[in-house]
Structure 1
């Protein structure tokens, strides 16, 4: 869908922040994402492109999930400290399931993993050796490139697996949506806020799959891209090459009661069904502060 087709007067009047958005460079690469404690890295070649990110906060109620692929809501959490892992595990996931079910109109929602992300220096944390690192419930840096966390195979399999595990006596589902629910819990303005891309402005032709490898230590040299049997069936994200038609948004000065819900994958492709996203360095507002945020992956089911 061309950018002109999504032009809207209320959107054209939005304040614009300059940004560098990192995309997969043109060319053919082995694209993988390696994650370990406090650090993440991609193979392939990436490049930063000058873009504008529009500020959607003054028109926050304009955005809808099925039109844009994202929406901003409000929610007061009972969790006072998101660094308190037992409390997050005990309270927050239930909150997310109830909230997402209400926001999207699903029959039920299953929350999966959560992650804290911060723009603070994680160098020392990344140096700590771990055994059996699990990519959930930890602290990672902000996302570094335009991506969607699932490709279609990953999303479809995740939905089937999660529904069977969580709702074995359910009647089955006719539609699923893989989501992220994202909120900051640091004061605004944040130095590295999250930007989301209007899903109507992306197409399959600029995409590639980025296979996920969760590791205790990063491989080096040729081992980073050496062939792995069955890689095309492994968990993978979708990454994007730059196109001028991509239309980026963010919500400045988000508070702890603001929640950003955006799609990884919607099985209904008659509506906007995915939302690329990434962090960007916001230089447009003074006195920006270190960002701390929490995100929860979840899948909503329509029965």
Structure 2
């Protein structure tokens, strides 16, 4: 463990892959069991601090993320039917009550595994510094999602996109998820990229896009030494990391940069396996 100006807060060294200043075309293609980015990336060794050791717990209202003790009735998180039958309602209730929202739309589950993801109907660990929604695309996505989920709804004045991240493989985790304190990220940071959901990775990801794949707009970031990274070591299946992807109210912590990273100090014997739910919460 390393110690620096945060005093007695321990940290591990992790490699964060930031967007290179030389990148021009920013596209991300996601297919079953595979993902590719057209961006160029530079790797930086950064200190990732133990969020459990910080005296004042992190909260959505101050930092944009928090750890929640939330046991689930799900027995097998790789069972998609059980997720639909049990976990959907648990996530909806958690987000609605914690945020005080009037309505919550679920965007579906994504399983991620640090090894052999395709064999488990999963995606690889997301090892690039990013946010799932860009400021440019978040408003349109929230409006489209509301119209699809609540076609007869009365409308909304605020929308908050969140991620609910749970690891269900036993601790310690070889590839934990790191989150960046909102207070260390400037509002002017980030470049938009485009996410394409496809059946197979195209042979030329820089070429013309044919067909009409569903797209989203995310954000990727250049390195700054001021970014402050944290993780929760030894997470259990009874814990859930809740963090903000985009809040239309920018007077609050409105986005959290995040990335998986290899914890070389962890004595993991099982590859990290996790489930994440993205949601959009709406307020009248």
Q: Same fold (TM over 0.5)?
A: yes
- Give the structure 1 partner of residue 48 of structure 2: 53
Is 1:302 the counterpart of 2:283? The answer is: yes
Structure (1/2) with the larger helix percentage: 1
- Give the structure 1 partner of residue 112 of structure 2: 117
CA 1:104–1:114: 2 relative to 1, 3 Å: same
Q: 1:110 offset after TM fit, Å? A: 1.4
Find the partner of 1:73 among 52, 68, 71.
68
Cα distance in 2 for residues equivalent to 1:235 and 1:287: 34
Find the partner of 1:215 among 186, 198, 204.
198
Cα distance in 1 for residues equivalent to 2:199 and 2:270: 31
- Give the structure 1 partner of residue 263 of structure 2: 282
- Give the structure 1 partner of residue 138 of structure 2: 155
Q: Secondary structure at the match of 1:68?
A: coil
TM-score, structure 2 as length reference: 0.91
1:216-231 paired onto structure 2 within 5 Å: 216-220=199-203, 223-228=204-209
- Give the structure 1 partner of residue 225 of structure 2: 244
Q: Which runs of 5+ in 2 are unaligned?
A: none
Between 1:55-64 and 1:15-24, the stretch displaced more is 55-64
- Give the structure 2 partner of residue 36 of structure 1: 31
What do you get for the CA RMSD once the two structures are aligned? 2.2
- Give the structure 2 partner of residue 141 of structure 1: 124
TM-score, structure 1 as length reference: 0.85
Cα distance in 2 for residues equivalent to 1:272 and 1:107: 20
- Give the structure 2 partner of residue 182 of structure 1: 165
CA 1:204–1:31: 2 relative to 1, 3 Å: farther
Is 1:168 the counterpart of 2:151? The answer is: yes
Q: 1:167 offset after TM fit, Å? A: 2.7
Is 1:19 the counterpart of 2:31? The answer is: no
Cα distance in 2 for residues equivalent to 1:184 and 1:275: 19
1:124-145 CA distances to partner (integer Å, 9 max, x unpaired)?
A: 649xxxxxxxxxxx41011020
Q: 1:157 offset after TM fit, Å? A: 1.6
Q: Is the 8 A contact 1:39 1:141 kept in 2?
A: yes
